[in-house]
Structure formats: structure tokens, C-alpha cells
Structure 1
Amino acid sequence: MSKPAFSRAEPDARRQSLIEATARVLARDGATGASVRAIALEAGVSPGLVGHYFAGIDGLVAETYAAVGQQVHVALAAAVAAAGDDPRDRVAAYVTASFAPPIADRALFATWIAFWSLSAKPIIAARHDALYQSYRDDLEALLAACGLPAADRRLVAIAITALVDGLWLELCLSPGNFTPGEARVLAERQLESYFDRSAKSSR
């Protein structure tokens, strides 16, 4: 008996399969390869299902960004939980988790670059802003536990997020020339400088 052209599944499973297929297509083919047809073929479903479950291709990419961002959030939270109770150790764990698997991953890197390249589209830009705001909120809470003054937390969180993105990009682009250990050292030095300045200003 021949295999049907498209598989049948429950609505939630179909939706999730499209999100997972989108992440794979973005990782493999980049933003320019993320067409409705390519994603439907990857998921083994009819192209018409993309419009049924999402607001077109941009809506699907935005939801995929949210799903992949949540996977990163889970990895960061796990790193913080494993760091113990010391507030500074918890901040360091949150920051340096990006330099090890599953975040320091070539497929995730390719997918994330595709998200960024599509961020001129309003629905994807909105998802990006919400996602990065959630990361900064987490950082601000961790920094508050370290005693960083409220007036400093927002800008420090922005600076740390930019630092992590830059080191993560370099690590993924040039893994032979730049090591995870070096990325951790650089990030931890920068964190210490923020804590030192905060301590001096509070005297």
C-alpha cells in the first residue's frame, strides 16, 4: 500500500510539527529558503495548513522564534538552578550557559541568524522584542539578588545581553579560534566590573 502524500495528525500535533519543520528549514536553508512549500514538505503536510494554523509564513516564523526562544530559556533556567544559591554564581551561570550546548550549537546559530535577518517584518520584530525583554527581565531579577541598585539594572542587563550575543556569535562562527572557556572568562570579567562599580558607588 502506498504512503499518503500528507500525514494526518491532531491539530496541536500538526501545529507543532510545522514549528519544528520551520526551525529545521531555517537552520538548513536560511531565511530565503523558508517558503510555505518547503516547510510543508519538511513537515509532511499540505501547504494549505500553514495558513490554517498561522498568519502566513511570517506568523509561522514568529511562532517558531518564540518556541526556539523558550528552549533557550529552559536551558538558561536549568543552568541557574544547577549553580546553587549564591546570587553571583547564578548570574554567571545564566550568562555563560550560552557558551555550551545546547545553546552553543551550529543548528541553533543558523536558525537564530535567520530570525534576526527577518526581524524587519513587524510580527517577527514584535516576537524578538518580547523574547529579549524576557531575557533582560530574568537578568534584572538575578542582578537584584546580587544587590545591584535598581537604577543600574536595566542598562546593565542590556549590556550583558549584547555581550553574550557578541561572544556567542564569535564562538559559533570561529570555534577553532575562540573557546567556550575564553568566552566565559571574558563574560565573568565584565560581570565583576559591574559588581565592583556598584559596590564603589554604594559607599
Structure 2
Amino acid sequence: MTRAVFTREDADTRRQALIEATAASLAEAGIAGTSVRAICMRAGVSAGLLRHYFDGVDALIAETYRATTATVGEAHAAAVAAAGADPRARLIAYVTASFRPPVADPALLATWLAFWSLVKTDAAIAAIHADTYRGYRGELEGLLSSCGLEQAQCRSAAIALTALVDGLWLELTLDPTTFTAEQASAMAVRWLDSLLEGNSLD
């Protein structure tokens, strides 16, 4: 009898299946309905396999948050890369990527709300949240600086812009009949133009 040889790819595939099942369960059932049993049934694996790869369901949820934030970060980075070399175009691309798939997705909203509900009660989730938003604001500060905004203004502008984008993203994904992605982008661009008015790239 030949014993199956499991590769690193097999392990990565199983881990990813568990992460995807967790995200789907959070979106559909929230924290209360996301258990080891629910995740494993969705992923088609045993509870023992989950515990083999993760130190329980809390650790898996934290890893799912990391994976979700990485997906969002990759979408923003791709948008900036596609915008070319112009600093204003790159800033606008970064900001408006939040209003297009895969970021503007009702399923992602449902999953994100589940993560947010844990920020005040779960130290691991709180740490990931803080790191994610610190990184997002840092990217914005760099893009704003490239557009000529004075360094002293960049931090407060990045905080305000993050709040604006989060609010528009939340409303857009909660009820896309309220306004369109194009309208959300236009509102954000008008805010940016007002902020950058009078700042020269020379």
C-alpha cells in the first residue's frame, strides 16, 4: 500500500480553504454563527484538521482578518500601479479603489462588520486593526506628500480622508441605490482637489 505524500501546497490549500470558509461564515452568520463545526462543514474538512493548522477558531478568525486586509491592500496597490507616474492620479486611484470590487462588495462588508465587532474585545483583532489602519494612513500620507501637501498637514489630512472614504464605502456597500461608485469617487476627488488647491508640485 502506497502512503500519500502531502506537499506544502496541500497544506497551503487546506489553510486557504479554512480561511475562505471562515470569511464566508462570518459574512453569512456573523461571529455568533461562526464555530469550528460551521467552518469545517463549509470547508469540507474535519475539526481535527482545523486544530492542526490553527490554534482554535479565534486564531483562525484573526488569520482570516489578516488575509482579508491583505486582499484589500493588494487591490489598492494594483490601482496605484495602474495609474502611472502622475502623483495626483496615483492618489486618486488609491482612494477610489475603495469604491470598486473587490473592496466595494456587500459580502466583504458583512465580513468586515464581524471583524469590527471584535476590535474592542479581542486583542489579536485589535492589533491587526490598528496595524491595518496605520498602514493605510501611512500610504495616504506618502501619496499626499507626493502631491505637494506640506508634511505637517499630511497626517491630519490622511486621518480625515480615511474617515471620508470609510463613510462613503460603508454607505455604498450598505445600500448601492443611495449613490453610485462613480459619485462616491467624484465626492472624494472634490475633497482632494479642495485640500490640494494652492499646493504646487514645483
Shared fold (TM-score, shorter chain, > 0.5): yes
* Matched residue, 1:117: 117
* Matched residue, 2:104: 104
For residues 130 and 58 of structure 2, what CA distance do their matches in structure 1 show? 15
* Matched residue, 2:133: 132
For residues 55 and 158 of structure 2, what CA distance do their matches in structure 1 show? 32
Structure 2 unpaired stretches of 5+:
1-8
For residues 164 and 83 of structure 1, what CA distance do their matches in structure 2 show? 19
* Matched residue, 2:25: 25
* Matched residue, 1:164: 165
Structure 1 unpaired stretches of 5+:
1-8
4+ aligned runs moved over 6 Å, structure 1:
none
Matched residue type, 1:129: A
Q: Equivalences for 1:1-203 in 2 at 5 Å?
A: 10-120=10-120, 121-196=122-197, 199=199
Percent identity reads: 58
Matched residue type, 1:79: A
| 3-state SS of paired residue (1:199) | coil
For residues 50 and 149 of structure 1, what CA distance do their matches in structure 2 show? 49
Query: How far did residue 105 of structure 1 move?
Result: 0.9
Contact 1:27 1:107 in 2 (8 A): yes
Q: TM-score, normalised by structure 2?
A: 0.88
| 3-state SS of paired residue (1:31) | coil
For residues 178 and 49 of structure 1, what CA distance do their matches in structure 2 show? 44
Say what the alpha-carbon RMSD is for the aligned residues.
1.7
| 3-state SS of paired residue (2:32) | helix
Query: How far did residue 199 of structure 1 move?
Result: 2.8
